[in-house]
Structure 1
Amino acid sequence: MSKSLSPETLAKYNVKWGPIGEPVYKRSYSRTKEDGSKEIWPETVVRAVDGNIGLVDKKFIESDEREKLIDLLLEFAAIPAGRHLYASGVKGRQFLFNCHAAGWDPKAPWDHFGFLFDELMQGGGVGSNYSNRYMQSLPPIQKSIDLHVVCRPDHPNIAEFQDLLCKVTQGDVKSHSDVLKVPDTREGWVEAVEHILKAAWSGSDSSESRIVIDVSGIRARGELLKTSGGIACGPGPLVSMLHDFTKQLNGCIGRTLTSLDAMVLDHALASCVIAGGKRRSSRMSVKSWKDSDIFEFINCKRQDGAHWSTNISVEVDDEFISAYNSGDEHAKSVMRAVTLGKRSNGEPGLWNRSLAMKDERDPELMFCPNPCGEIGLQMWENCNLGHINLQHFASKPNREAAEAFRLMTRWLIRATFGDIPQPRQREVVDRNRRIGVGFFGYHGWLAIRGFKYSEAYKEASIQNTLNMFKTTVQNEAREYSGQMNIPCPVKNTTLAPTGTIVLMPGVSASGQAVIYRHFKRLVRYADTDPELEVKRKEGYKVFKDDDARNTQIVEYWCEDPLVSVLKAKGLDAEELVECQDEIKLEDSLGTQRMIQEFYADNAISFTINMGEDKMPTEDVMERAFVDALPYIKGTTFFPEKSRKNAPYQKLSKAEWDAYTGRKETIQVEDECKTGCPVR
């Protein structure tokens, strides 16, 4: 196919979409072209490939590399992270990195907040470490902020935030001489936040600082953002956030920020980004088990509405494991609190910093995991991810999959030359060149080869094959970086969630098992939606939603695509395909440990989903996690709790076979519970 790449050929290419692959692609990765039409998948592939290989001199591109990459992406055999698909090849805006680490600088403490706000507004996820060893290094807040927000009276959106304007002058711009005029840019919003913070940390004698911020220049809500392709939100979210932010800051006068102080400030910034139109703001917050206020952190999300923009994980280390096993009361209390939280709502997670430091060139600089946990990062560093579809290669020689791993390694090393506006991040990327080559479709790869998920991690052939893929990546990383005379990537392999990109080919996510073999999918529609009558005529069951007014539910009976694939191959899908709630805790942890040992030198994002009927006792669960900690860099547990009209409901084989209505082949659209950015 790639030998002839004319527009006519691309338009005729038969894309092998998964059941819901095309709509997922259109909403997530298809860009609007200059003529106003939307890209089709082959056009996205060519743009992304050409953008990537254009980041380095042509002498560093193999003669057939472009064609090989186009073929791999067209077939969904290899897919870089969604950010690459969306941003690669976009001139001046090749922001190719999904996630970032917001560090701390005692000499410029405002940089943490400005960096986090900036990256969230660009659609990235941001992790940070709020341990006391970082918080106590910051200077105390010196001044109270007297905030005055002003705006021209004819701004189209002024009614939305009139009550928050300066009470003395009623927001009259002309009544103030010393004013910060917020430019109508992302950088302008960051400047407004940093302006307040710099005043609060100012060392002058005055106990109060008067800040006047003019939002007149921010375009009205609904206007097109030509550079990013988004829609403007107006000044309202910024004005509201600045008031909440300042109020929290003023409560910290005369002392250093605590962990929760800083997290509340970061949450205000994340909430502003979501109110401004981003679908989500993905964050990760970690804190050391040693801190005296660790239990406040563990319980911080129990209050309704608190800290919903972040995942939380407790930072543990070799000392923690030793202390726990020696009967240390603090360590045991922390582990029990973590276990109870996991059983209740899945949080907090655990992050093993000692293991994350292993094989780092500068181990003491290891700072925090990214929001999904698959990459340990230094301050200001980013994630750079790409993935191989193992299921695509299940019936092919391992050497073909190995070549895909090799080519993705080269892709990600080139991506380190992408656009990085932040000088701090550019410096650490140039030094580390960290990449994360991962995979998805693991369950299908196993099943097609005749292995059950719960047993495969013990198989030497599986271990050896994954280790061969790892060695392929490491060797190519060493060779390719040497050719370009740049540092070899500090680490190379990982396992990311891949929850959205896997929907395009319709295979299982990451290294996870499928969620259900057969299930009911309940989709809500407004009473007035004309699609309801269409669904009735097509034979679907439609019923009233008792929990939502003016809403009805359409019931779809679905089979996971892997089950259909195996049946088409004459294999026993019921025997080979175990779903997540059927896998024991020890087998899930065993799978994670095996992949960490034989494949991933970064970390693994792995969520253990467990039904209430399979939940072990508190003591058994706690012991299982402690025993696994020396071998895994982090883990997440999520309790599956039944509730009325849940969007996905498991079906037994008997129920599926007995049902005579319409049936679909479709997978659970498992949006990452950790909230990773889609692109």
Structure 2
Amino acid sequence: MPLADDQADFSLARLDGAFGEQKLPGRKLDRGMGEAVGRRTVFRPGDAEDFARVADRVAAGNTALVDHVSAFERAQLRNAIATGALLTSGRHLQHGDAEQPGRNMEVFTNCATAITSFAKFYLLLNGSGVGRAYDDELCAVDWGQAPTLLLHLSPEHPDFPRDRSGLHRFGVEMQLLPWGMGPEDFDGAAEAQVRAVLDAGVLTDLAQAPAGAVHHRIADSREGWAKAVEILEAMAFRRQADRTLVLDLSIIRRAGSPIAGMQGRPASGPISLLRGLMNIRRHVIEPARDDSGGSRLQPWEQALLVDHHLSVEVQVGGARRAARMATKSWRDPGVLGFVRSKSEGGLWTANHSVMVDRTFWSLLEGSGQGDLAVHARAVFDEVTRCAYVNGEPGFINGDLLEDHRTGTAWAKPVHEDGRDFASQRYQADAAADLLAELSRRASRARFPVTTNPCGEITLHVTGGYCVIADFAPALACPVGLGDFAPGQPTDEVAGLWDARVADSVRLGVRFLLRANRMDALYAEEVARTNRIGIGPTGLHEWAWVRFGLSFRDLLDEERAAPFWRMLEELSGIAKAEANAYAAELGTTRPVTVTTVKPAGTTSKLFGLTEGAHLPARRQYLRWVQFRGTRDAGAESGNWLEGTDPLLPEYEQRGYPVRTLRSFPGMSIVGFPTVSLIQRLGLGDALVTAPEASPAEQYQWLRLLERHWIGAEQGNQVSYTLKIYTDQTDLAAFRDIVLREQPLVRCCSILPSRPDNELGYEYLPEEEVSAARFAAIADGIHDEAAQEVVDWAHLQCASGACPI
């Protein structure tokens, strides 16, 4: 409903107008990595790589979501975004434009949860990070009762493997052939093997389907792919193992075709979905039917496997990685299997965490020998044993999450008609009864909420959204960050700067509440909770340039009182603005307002430290995935059709490029990276994540929870704490977790060891020596990149000149 004029005037009175109404120039993206991220995920051709144009379209789209937004507020919002003071999120920067009112909310949500596999798949296809609780009481589908699944792809489809070359590509994409087998090595035996799999796995003639089979033609859209899984999952829930379901993939566009809604990036084609469905049939449905040996897959295991196989196809689909969170209650009998499922089961597509509570921690402190106490100690020992090796699973204090703490999660109504998952673009009809049953179960669940993949947002287990945004207080500075000594801006600069920071928070809150009015699958839950999450990024840059405080200074609350006082004031401003603006819009008081998200995309645009995190390294290669591979995956040779055009472009410029084995069809590009924080002259006061002790980092988290998240209407801080295992043994690691983890809502712990000992094919950030960094930079023929890697200047700024 529109705001009355007097309401609009009252609303705007809360804005200081610190950004002015005259258009401000767009902030330049950080050279190298920042520009690469902008080109890949933000800029459109019409933006001309100008962030001011991004701000124009994002502000126009968001303010069009309600009937009345004044020109004054629109100008303020546009300037806040253009300067980088209000970064919103990557989703908004990518998709925001004047057409936003006609689009679905899923495209603009970073954080979601799902309680079914089809819902999770659909949300991943829309780019959301999705959490799911795999508690026994929340898994109602026995995939062993699924129908016989037949998969049809017309031999006339361009991607159908009809000749030797097509069979070779099919064998590569289905991972049937040894790594590196090129067309020249694809002999008759290998061809026969691939053809046998094709003949057995794909129904080429629909007339061969049995009488009475359910036929479904999969539409060439996100909605079409998800609907196919919904039908299959619903039939499994209804225990229709005596039926046959034929899924027809023939009208899915060919691989490499442009996706209009994804900046023209290449589609993965029908073979990707075919692979996922074949894997579900082979690795889930068939084993779930086999009870021989007494090791039949349990429903929670089945769900975890189905979600993994579907997520793989999003992961390699060329649009984005599939971000997932998988959680399970510590009380479940099968939780120890869940704890080991990632390290031993190869389920690499999700972050895994165990949901715990005060009872769990109190049992660990005592010496009781009851069954629950023994179980709690076994869970703690196994979680920490696995986490010491690869960082997972983590612990989430479920009873400290906002909706659990207040009890509002159990107040969610149960609907029988599928309205919990319905929008203009998608309606869950086949699975309405499944959704109703799961809602009933959730209404009495011990843990009714879980989190998104990065852990910073609390969401109902049956499904929910949170639109999130970053503000960057350092970038709200009205003059250059090098125009004054750290912590010594003039009074005039400080006054305008602080006013801009406060307005960026207010504008960000209003921005998010307007986004909550979009058409959404979870419209019922969005209306019930009106959940948002706004949080700072680049905190360490702001602390240094505005207050003259380093990381270790911030841990001294008395010394850093101005910083913490202002952060607490900003938290109050965010909640007051959220409550007032929601009332003006006639919507619910937001259940949550504050958060600190990882802020990866937005922070990289301008070289900021990400969210609450310390700088990971002083200099490093940032590896970024792109869809594409060479002939037979070789490290040299021609790029295959459907490869992201940025891959050969970056290779030609001299960036390091590697083809991946563990991520089929993907390659990575290495960007030499030095963050802004190292360019600000901290010298020896700069502390990187590996240099900060666990105790210091947990203290930092507690301070952020107290002063920013707050006692009410708060989400969580997303934070990954690194521990050197060559300095901390398992016993010491367990002591740290037992002492510190109960005192924060959540925190991920990542063991740090030499990269080649971690067991991963690559790490997103690879630390390199100064000499290697300089050599890589010298080999890059990219003027923009050379400007950021003026290595001698950077080293001398910190007081050391090794070159």
CA contact (8 A) 1:146 1:209 kept: yes
Given the alignment of the two structures, is residue 172 of structure 1 paired with residue 290 of structure 2, yes or no?
Answer: no
CA contact (8 A) 2:26 2:82 kept: no
Could you say if the C-alpha distance between residues 563 and 405 of structure 1 is closer, same or farther in structure 2, counting changes exceeding 3 Å? same
Match of 2:678 in 1: 563
Given the alignment of the two structures, is residue 86 of structure 1 paired with residue 94 of structure 2, yes or no?
Answer: yes
Compute the displacement of 1:585 (Å): 0.5
User: Which TM-score applies when normalising by structure 2?
Assistant: 0.71
CA contact (8 A) 1:180 1:213 kept: yes
Aligned equivalents of 1:667, 1:622: Cα separation in 2: 42
More helix by share: 2
- For 1:452-480, what per-residue CA distance to the aligned partner results, in whole angstroms no more than 9, with x for missing partners? 21341331333322211110011111111
Aligned equivalents of 2:649, 2:252: Cα separation in 1: 38
CA contact (8 A) 1:517 1:577 kept: no
* Stretch moving more, 264-273 or 186-195: 186-195
- For 1:586-608, what per-residue CA distance to the aligned partner results, in whole angstroms no more than 9, with x for missing partners? 00011011111221110110011
Identify which of 388, 393, 398 aligns with 1:348. Answer: 393
3-state SS, counterpart of residue 634 of structure 1: coil
3-state SS, counterpart of residue 602 of structure 1: strand
Equivalent positions of 1:355-434 (< 5 A) are 355-356=400-401, 357=403, 360=406, 362-364=408-410, 366-378=448-460, 379-393=462-476, 395=489, 396-397=494-495, 398-420=498-520, 422=521, 425-434=522-531
Could you say if the C-alpha distance between residues 48 and 292 of structure 1 is closer, same or farther in structure 2, counting changes exceeding 3 Å? same
CA contact (8 A) 2:125 2:314 kept: yes
Equivalent positions of 1:210-609 (< 5 A) are 210-228=244-262, 229-247=264-282, 248-253=284-289, 257-303=298-344, 306-327=346-367, 328-356=373-401, 357=403, 360=406, 362-364=408-410, 366-378=448-460, 379-393=462-476, 395=489, 396-397=494-495, 398-420=498-520, 422=521, 425-448=522-545, 449-459=547-557, 460-518=561-619, 559-566=674-681, 573-600=682-709, 601-609=714-722
Could you say if the C-alpha distance between residues 197 and 643 of structure 1 is closer, same or farther in structure 2, counting changes exceeding 3 Å? closer
Match of 1:109 in 2: none
CA contact (8 A) 2:617 2:688 kept: yes
CA contact (8 A) 1:180 1:192 kept: yes
CA contact (8 A) 2:701 2:744 kept: yes
Compute the displacement of 1:170 (Å): 5.3
Could you say if the C-alpha distance between residues 168 and 329 of structure 1 is closer, same or farther in structure 2, counting changes exceeding 3 Å? closer
* Stretch moving more, 637-646 or 116-125: 637-646
Q: How many residues in Structure 1 have an aligned counterpart in Structure 2?
A: 623
- For 1:325-364, what per-residue CA distance to the aligned partner results, in whole angstroms no more than 9, with x for missing partners? 1133322222222222222111111111110045546144
Could you say if the C-alpha distance between residues 31 and 463 of structure 1 is closer, same or farther in structure 2, counting changes exceeding 3 Å? same
3-state SS, counterpart of residue 515 of structure 1: coil
Q: Which runs of 5+ in 2 are unaligned?
A: 1-18, 162-166, 171-194, 368-372, 413-447, 478-488, 626-633, 638-647, 662-667, 757-761, 780-785, 792-803
Q: Which runs of 5+ in 1 are unaligned?
A: 104-111, 548-552, 567-572, 669-679
Compute the displacement of 1:50 (Å): 0.8
The one-letter amino acid of 2:218's match is: V
Aligned equivalents of 1:98, 1:74: Cα separation in 2: 21
Aligned equivalents of 2:619, 2:126: Cα separation in 1: 38
Match of 2:173 in 1: none
CA contact (8 A) 1:597 1:631 kept: no
Match of 2:728 in 1: 616
- For 1:280-333, what per-residue CA distance to the aligned partner results, in whole angstroms no more than 9, with x for missing partners? 1111000111112211111111136x1111110010111111111113332222
* Stretch moving more, 94-103 or 38-47: 38-47
User: Which TM-score applies when normalising by structure 1?
Assistant: 0.83
- For 1:606-648, what per-residue CA distance to the aligned partner results, in whole angstroms no more than 9, with x for missing partners? 01123345x4343333233233334311110112222469863
Match of 1:671 in 2: none
- For 1:108-156, what per-residue CA distance to the aligned partner results, in whole angstroms no more than 9, with x for missing partners? xxxx111111111112111001112223xx2655735322222332211
Aligned equivalents of 1:294, 1:504: Cα separation in 2: 40
Could you say if the C-alpha distance between residues 191 and 531 of structure 1 is closer, same or farther in structure 2, counting changes exceeding 3 Å? closer
Match of 1:208 in 2: 242
Aligned equivalents of 1:661, 1:298: Cα separation in 2: 45
The one-letter amino acid of 1:342's match is: A
Compute the displacement of 1:409 (Å): 0.8
Match of 1:550 in 2: none
Compute the displacement of 1:544 (Å): 13
Aligned equivalents of 1:251, 1:660: Cα separation in 2: 51
CA contact (8 A) 1:128 1:367 kept: no
3-state SS, counterpart of residue 387 of structure 1: strand
Could you say if the C-alpha distance between residues 169 and 320 of structure 1 is closer, same or farther in structure 2, counting changes exceeding 3 Å? closer
Identity score, percent: 25
Could you say if the C-alpha distance between residues 262 and 655 of structure 1 is closer, same or farther in structure 2, counting changes exceeding 3 Å? closer
CA contact (8 A) 1:556 1:664 kept: no
Match of 1:676 in 2: none
Aligned equivalents of 2:777, 2:113: Cα separation in 1: 52
Aligned equivalents of 2:64, 2:669: Cα separation in 1: 47
Match of 1:642 in 2: 754
CA contact (8 A) 1:87 1:93 kept: no
Match of 2:120 in 1: 116
Aligned equivalents of 1:238, 1:478: Cα separation in 2: 44
The one-letter amino acid of 1:564's match is: R
CA contact (8 A) 1:387 1:437 kept: yes
Could you say if the C-alpha distance between residues 556 and 619 of structure 1 is closer, same or farther in structure 2, counting changes exceeding 3 Å? same
